DNA sequence: CCATAGATCGGCT
DNA sequence: GCCGATCTATGGC
């Protein structure tokens, strides 16, 4: 029997919930009943006291859902054409959330591919806006309950053999915070896995630390 | 493979 | 008016 996640698991800071969501499963029941599912392989944490977060300047009409109770979907529109989805975390009133950036398609692949003819399976949900498109998620699902809801919800998944941290993508403020979490073994990431943050002794020998700025970034 | 430009519009300064 | 928690097409190597 598929087991849904519990709301308490999301009632913690986004920074804590984010790595735990990697390896869980997002399920979508389309209007008409078809079921889509993907294993979460890449997410980003956004805290309230976080210059990169929509919640940073307090509640507005757009970000209202972020300030509500945990376990709901915060969906926003950007770049004039894309939808992105987050899972709201933390206590009500807090304004923190986890952006769902990439997933590995598990069920309903034909239905996803119908929306993206000619795409390899690993690319169908590899990117926050690709994923909402594949799953038929838009602003109408803003605020949906991902614990007890019937349109989209979270189930216990197989987990991930590893979860690594990396800088978040596409932001300017607080760009140095390594608040993106991903399964480096997944073929469905939104971009290739970054270099390991803690290099092996062998790698350290090959590329010794330098004095002064190091241009190498984990991307 | 990589880099760059263009799309396209709501939210906020 | 500016600019995004992005993606795709295109053109170069």
Decide if pLDDT at A64 tops 80: yes
Residue A142 CA and nucleotide B7 C1' are separated, in Å, by 24
Residues 12-31 of A with CB under 7 A from strand C: none
- Whether the Cβ atoms of residue A87 and residue A100 lie closer than 8 Å to each other: yes
For the CA of A219 and the C1' of B2, the distance in angstroms is: 15
**Spatial distance from the CA of A211 to the C1' of B4 (Å):** 33
- What rounded mean pLDDT belongs to chain A? 91
Q: Please say whether the beta carbons of A100 and A43 come within 8 A.
A: yes
* pLDDT score of A206 more than 70: no
Q: Which nucleotides of C are covered by protein (CB under 7 A)?
A: 4-8
Residue A210 has pLDDT above 60, yes or no: no
Across A59-79, b (16+ Cβ under 10 Å) vs e yields eeeebebbbbbbbbbbbbeee
A74-86 average pLDDT score: 98
Q: What is the pLDDT of residue A197?
A: 57
- Please compute the mean of the pLDDT values over residues A45-56 and round it to a whole number: 97
Does at least one atom of strand C sit less than 7 Å from the CB of A127?
yes
- pLDDT tops 70 at residue A204: no
- Give the pLDDT score at A218: 37
The confidence score (pLDDT) of residue A200 equals 46
Using C1' positions and the CA of A58, the closest nucleotide is B12
Which domains, and CATH codes, for chain A? Answer: 7-193 (3.10.300.10)
Q: Which nucleotide is nearest to A77 (CA to C1')?
A: B10
For the CA of A80 and the C1' of B13, the distance in angstroms is 19
**Smallest CA–C1' separation from A63, nucleotide:** B11
**Spacing of A111 CA from C5 C1' in Å:** 26
Strand C closer than 7 Å to the CB of A116? yes
Distance A120 CA to B1 C1' (A): 18
């Amino acid at each position: 029997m598929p087991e849904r996640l519990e709301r308490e698991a999301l009632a913690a800071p986004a920074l804590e919930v984010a790595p735990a969501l990697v390896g869980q499963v997002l399920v979508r029941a389309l209007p008409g009943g078809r079921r889509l599912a993907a294993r979460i392989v890449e997410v980003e944490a956004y805290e309230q006291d976080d210059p990169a977060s929509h919640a940073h300047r307090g509640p507005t009409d757009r970000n209202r859902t972020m300030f509500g109770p945990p376990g709901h979907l915060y969906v926003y529109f950007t770049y004039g054409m894309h939808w992105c989805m987050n899972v709201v975390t933390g206590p009500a009133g807090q304004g923190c959330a986890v952006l769902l950036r990439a997933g590995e398609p598990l069920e309903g692949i034909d239905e996803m591919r119908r929306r993206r003819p000619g795409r390899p399976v690993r690319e169908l949900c590899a990117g926050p806006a690709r994923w909402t498109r594949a799953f038929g998620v838009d602003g109408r699902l803003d605020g949906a309950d991902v614990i007890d809801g019937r349109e989209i919800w979270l189930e216990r998944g197989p987990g991930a053999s590893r979860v690594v941290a990396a800088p978040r993508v596409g932001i300017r403020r607080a760009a140095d915070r390594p608040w993106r979490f991903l399964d480096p073994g997944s073929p469905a990431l939104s971009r290739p896995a970054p270099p390991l943050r803690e290099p092996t002794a062998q790698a350290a020998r090959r590329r010794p630390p330098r004095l002064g700025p190091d241009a190498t970034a984990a991307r």
